Structure 1
Amino acid sequence: MALSELPLFPLSSVLFPGGSLGLRIFEPRYLELVKRCGRSGEGFGICLILEGHEAGAPAIPAAHGTEAAIVDFAMTDDGLLGITVEGRRRFHVERTRVRADGLIIADVRWLPETAVEPVRAEHALLGVLLARILDKAGVEHDGVGKGRLAEAGFVGWRLAEWLPLSPSERQWLLQLDDPHERLQQLVDRLPDFQPD
């Protein structure tokens, strides 16, 4: 399978397909990246940082990430560029190189997108949980078992964002190809979220 070239933006958080993330841009390498992506309409890759920091020397990124598309931008109160990105396709990093300005360029293999499949009966509780979370957040939805809340992939991705998971747990869920396996991992974690 042919590889694609993708600039990377390593972060201390995980972006999921269909998810949204706000970023403050201040380093020259990322300002140039955002300018180029804004002109071309192309995306860039977001990967969890395994070693290093978001600013300064190039960090070591995880091998799995999500393509980010810029959907909005504005100046923040502190005068920095703020952008909102939306998660698109997942990818696996095959190799990386660092440009002179510190920007990491990766050769990536796009991971197959899973077909839309319904939430199985054993995971129905997760649809109810997500509906309650969305209600509290003021996010409109069609109701439990309807629209996107009937889709295994959507429910898994959104719960992976909203539940209090560690970055490494979110990364593990991102790497799973099977949406039903992702939901099972979340079901197994539910007791940990109950108050004592």
Structure 2
Amino acid sequence: MDEIQVPLFPLHAVLFPGGPLPLRVFEPRYLDMVSDCLKREREFGVCLIRQGDEVGQAASTHEVGTLARVADWNVRADGLLGITVHGQGRFQVESVDVQGNQLSVAHVRLMAEEPAAEIPQACRPMVDLLGRMLARFESLYGSLPTHFDDARWVGWRLAELLPLRLSQKQYFLQLTDPLQRLERLGEIVDGMELA
């Protein structure tokens, strides 16, 4: 697979391919990074923080993350930059260099895109659940394409919307089999009481 160099935005959040993530940007290192990515029409990497914080010193992250492309931006009422990013492909971090301004720049290996997979009949109720969940988040998901017949897309959307621990979300990001992801999510949903 291809190897590229990308700046990292370590977060206490998991971004999935094809999914949106609204962010508030206020630290100079990330304002500069976002500005550079917009000017060059480049992506940056979003990784879940393993140890550390979103602000201050560079945080240690999980090795698997998602490329993010800025889809929209605005200056919020509080004066901060608001951006919405859309998840692209996943990557594996090979090495990280921390710059003087504490911006982490990673050498990453792009992960192969999972093949589309049909939804097994036993998982059809999960598609209905996802439809109801997406209706609640129309403002965030309304402009994005839907693929309710693709186990990969359905699994990613459920993993980002269900009330899961961040470690569980990271686990589902790292899984490379869309049917296994959907089946494991189904087991979790079966154990939940959903309204």
Q: TM-score, normalised by structure 1?
A: 0.92
1:47-196 map, 5 Å:
47-138=47-138, 148-194=147-193
Task: State the aligned residue count.
Answer: 190
Q: Which runs of 5+ in 2 are unaligned?
A: none
Amino acid at match of 2:55: A
What is the match of residue 9 of structure 1?
9
1:105–1:136 CA distance, 2 compared to 1 (3 A): closer
Which amino acid in the other structure matches residue 39 of structure 1?
K
The offset of 1:124, in angstroms, is 1.5
Equivalent AA in structure 1 for residue 94 of structure 2: E
2: distance between equivalents of 1:15 and 1:94? 19
3-state SS of 1:89 partner: strand
Shift of 1:2: 4.4
Distance 1:19 1:117, change over 3 A: same
TM-score w.r.t. length of structure 2 = 0.93
Shift of residue 137 of structure 1? 3.6
* Separation of aligned partners in 2, 1:148 and 1:28: 37
Q: What are the ranges of 5 or more consecutive residues in structure 1 without an aligned counterpart?
A: 142-146
Write out per-residue CA displacement over residues 56-107 of structure 1, whole angstroms, 9 at most, x where no aligned residue.
1110011000000001110011101111100000000011110111000111
Distance in 2 separating the partners of 1:2 and 1:88: 15
Query: SS of the residue aligned with 2:134?
Result: helix
For 1:186, give the aligned amino acid. Answer: L
Letter of the 1:151 partner, please give it. D
Question: For residues 116 and 169 of structure 1, what CA distance do their matches in structure 2 show?
Answer: 22
- Classify the secondary structure of the residue corresponding to 1:148: coil
Which portions of structure 1, spanning 4 or more consecutive aligned residues, are displaced by more than 6 angstroms?
A: none
- Aligned-pair RMSD on alpha carbons? 1.6
